Amino acid sequence: MEYVYAALLLHKLDKEVNEANLSSVVKASGAEVNEAQVKSLVAALADVDINEAVKAAPVAVAAAAPAADAPAADAPAKEEKKEEPKNEEAAMEGLSSLFG
């Protein structure tokens, strides 16, 4: 997962997503670099438009918590339905779009 995050970080900073840059970011995070995974990810992302992949990926949106200084008495009392959190497999399916 850290490799995907590193690739997204490099993309966000308008840096080239290549083996050297990806390895540097992963190493700087304190994780051990697996060169095979780095090469695989760079190869998988070669034909992927990361901007389009990010736009197409489903995003889990957390409900905004009310501000601590907001007066709670002014808010109408209502019951809110809580959504069940998505499982890890569903989240991974969204990330798989980065790999084509």
SS3 labels along the chain:
CHHHHHHHHHHHCCCCCCHHHHHHHHHHCCCCCCHHHHHHHHHHHCCCCHHHHHHHCCCCCCCCCCCCCCCHHHCCCCCCCCCCCCCHHHHHHHHHHHHC
pLDDT confidence tier of residue 48, bands split at 50, 70 and 90: confident
Q: What is the pLDDT of residue 15?
A: 93
Domains of the chain: 2-62+80-99 (1.10.10.1410)
Q: Is the pLDDT of residue 43 over 60?
A: yes
Q: Is the pLDDT of residue 55 over 80?
A: yes
pLDDT confidence tier of residue 24, bands split at 50, 70 and 90: very high
